[in-house]
Amino acid sequence: MYEENQVENSTLSSIEERLNSRKDKGNDAKKKHPILEEILSWIWSIAVASVIMAILYFFVGRPFTVSGQSMYPTLHNGDHMIMSKLGGINRFDVVVLQAPDEDKEYIKRVIGMPGDTLEVKNGILYINGKAVDQPFINTNNDKKTVFIDDFTLKELTGEDKVPEGKYFVMGDNRGVSKDSRMIGFIDKASIEGKAVFTIWPFGRIGGQKDYSYLYSE
């Protein structure tokens, strides 16, 4: 029995020595490559940060810079904004969209929702037969052009109503805006997000006003 215990103790001691030896070798290896470990740690951190940024960019939102005067006075040329991809598209939202006729982004206001009838008569906007106030448009442009003349949806598009899955958009600066009056309806898939907050210049920092109260079913 005594001899058996000695053998067991000897075996356990041998195993413990081997484990300690491997642990020491591992520690020695770590001590020999601190720079490599630091580099790998940085690479991992950058990779994780890149994945998070990609998710935010494609699914949450991103910065956007206004180009041109088509949304004046609501937005000015050069305004830096945050575009949100969260939530649905509502009437009077300011949206960033992929232009259907050229490789660039437009920023416009949603006027017509799927199923709406639209017309402008004597300068007044009618949605589904109801007169709607437009406090956001530029009223300082006194030039009477084709871009601010009266129209009906039928005259412009050949459709009586805005088709399903599409929107009718216009710029707030109607006299200079290239929008659905010229380029037609905008597919839902072409809308990249909503312009929700101006971050620069400093004097114009703030969120977009909610104009949903202007129209009710």
| Angle CA 191–72–89, to nearest 5 | 25
Where does the chain have alpha helices with state H? 2-32, 34-55, 153-157, 180-183
Catalytic machinery residues:
70, 108
The matching CATH number, chosen from 1.20.1280.290, 3.40.50.2020, 2.10.109.10, 3.40.47.10, for 61-211 is 2.10.109.10
Selection from 6-20, 59-73, 198-212 with the highest mean pLDDT: 198-212
Domain boundaries, the chain: 2-58, 61-211
Q: Which is higher by pLDDT, 47 or 106?
A: 106
- Cα–Cα distances in angstroms (integers) from residue 19 to residues 12, 14, 29, 51, 126, in the given order: 11, 9, 15, 39, 83
Cα separation of 214 and 127, whole Å?
11
Select the more confidently predicted residue: 61 or 179: 179
100-151 per-position pLDDT tens digit: 888 899 999 999 999 999 999 988 999 999 999 999 998 775 544 445 689 9
The total number of residues shown for the chain amounts to 217
The model scores a pTM over 0.85: no
State the average pLDDT over residues 73-80.
95
- Residue 39 confidence (pLDDT): 81
- The answer on pLDDT for 198 being more than 90 is yes
Strand-pair partners of 83: 62, 195
